[in-house]
């Protein structure tokens, strides 16, 4: 594997969790790493420097990328990691404003970062973009509809972008983790238009999701996969991260849809009598 000493990397959402682990892992591999946080330099470590950046604000994105280019003159790797979830939440329990808000960070944030960084990579004739997706980007779960929709958007955008840029020496990959032990579950937003009708389901899911996150992967598992995608001679478009994510991808690809549907419900302790055995899921 090629060493990337002095390659310049930018990792959004590096104040905690997967972003922080990724920034540290890349630094250990020899990258010069800039992490970002809405809180600015707070949280800087010896391994990497922090820039202030809010991915929902175009001016903030432009300023952070300009600052990095002023200092280093180039950017070799962009890891779009900043994101959050709204769950457990029935799809109808989120206002349209909340739907916009999650798309603004999880998807439009990637669009803003990409538009700011790609011109520099095109000029260089090289670069890597790695977007942190999720298994929910290929396997939607109930009561996480908006989050799953943002991650499906990330998948589609990334694949299109890779098609466009690969002939210019720029490669795009999506890394798809499953449950990972970070601040993600503590930072989950509750629905802003909750309905009593969902109370019992919500209580059951809160309990089940706490168990699933507690049994999740360490963020270092995802960081290792990001490094693999960043340094592969011929990077793949999709990388699952962790054992569960790999198994889910195999199931999604090869198992009958009815079986996968029932499995999702069973895993979340939801009523499986409504699995679409008789509905012939397409
Ligand atoms: N944990 C999981 O189970 C899991 C599974 C699959 C995928 N993921 C994905 O992994 C990524 C990282 O999440 P995590 O698990 O590491 O959660 P986390 O510990 O909550 O970290 C989220 C990071 O995103 C940043 N962020 C949030 N909104 C931002 C904004 N508007 N502008 C800039 N930064 C923002 C936060 O930084 P500041 O608050 O400092 O600004 C923080 O550093 C997300 O895209 C998430 O969807 C997580």
Does 135 fall in a domain? yes
Q: Which residue range forms the structural domain that includes residue 94?
A: 8-267
Sheet containing 127-132, strands listed edge to edge, beginning at the edge strand earlier in sequence = 49-52, 32-37, 8-11, 77-80, 127-132, 170-177, 238-241
pTM (predicted TM-score)? 0.96
Of 52, 254, 238, whose CA–CA distance to 154 is shortest? 238
- The answer as to whether 66 is a domain residue is yes
For residue range 206-253, what is the model confidence (pLDDT) as tens digits?
Answer: 999 999 999 999 999 999 999 999 999 999 999 999 999 999 999 999
Burial letters 204-225, b for 16+ CB under 10 A, else e: ebeeebeeebeebbebebbbeb
Ramachandran region, residue 13 (left: φ > 0; alpha: ψ -120 to 50; beta: rest) = left
Catalytic residues: 147
- Dump the DSSP string for 188-243: PBPPSS--GGGHHHHHHHHHHHHHHHHTSB-HHHHHHHHHHHHH-SS--SEEEESH
Residue 274 domain-assigned (yes or no): no
- Which atom of ligand 1 is found nearest the CA of 14? 43
Total domains present in the chain: 1
Mutation to probe ligand 1, out of 10, 13, 134 (largest number of atoms < 8 A from CB): 13
CA of 184 to the centre of ligand 1 (A): 6
> Is 280 among the domain residues?
no
272 within a domain of the structure (yes/no): no
The CATH number of whichever domain residue 152 belongs to comes to 3.40.50.720
Residue 111 within a domain: yes
- What digits encode the pLDDT tens for the residues 155-193? 999 999 999 999 999 999 999 999 999 999 999 999 999
Q: Which residue has the tokens 């995608």?
A: 229
In a domain, residue 2? The reply is no
């Amino acid at each position: 594997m090629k060493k990337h000493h002095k390659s310049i990397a930018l990792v959004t959402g590096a104040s905690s969790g997967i972003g922080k682990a990724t920034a540290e892992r890349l630094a250990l591999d020899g990258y010069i790493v800039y992490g970002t946080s809405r809180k600015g330099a707070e949280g800087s470590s010896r391994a990497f420097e922090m820039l202030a950046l809010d991915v929902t604000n175009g001016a903030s994105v432009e300023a952070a990328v300009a600052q990095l280019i002023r200092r280093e003159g180039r950017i070799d790797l962009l890891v779009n990691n900043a994101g959050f979830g709204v769950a457990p939440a029935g799809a109808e329990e989120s206002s349209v404003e909340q739907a916009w808000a999650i798309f603004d960070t999880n998807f439009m944030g990637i669009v803003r970062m990409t538009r700011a960084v790609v011109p520099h990579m095109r000029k260089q004739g090289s670069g890597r973009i790695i977007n942190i997706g999720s298994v929910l980007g290929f396997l939607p779960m109930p009561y996480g509809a908006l989050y799953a929709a943002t991650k499906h958007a990330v998948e589609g955008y990334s694949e299109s972008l890779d098609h466009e840029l690969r002939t210019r020496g720029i490669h795009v990959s999506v890394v798809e983790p499953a449950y990972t032990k970070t601040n993600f579950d503590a930072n989950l937003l509750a629905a802003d238009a909750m309905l009593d009708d969902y109370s019992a389901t919500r209580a059951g899911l809160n309990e089940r999701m706490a168990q699933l996150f507690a049994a999740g992967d360490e963020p270092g598992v995802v960081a290792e996969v990001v490094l693999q995608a960043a340094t592969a001679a011929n990077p793949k478009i999709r990388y699952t991260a962790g054992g569960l994510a790999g198994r889910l991808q195999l199931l999604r690809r090869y198992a009958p849809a009815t079986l996968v549907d029932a499995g999702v419900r069973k895993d979340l302790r939801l009523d499986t009598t409504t699995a679409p055995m008789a509905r012939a899921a397409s």
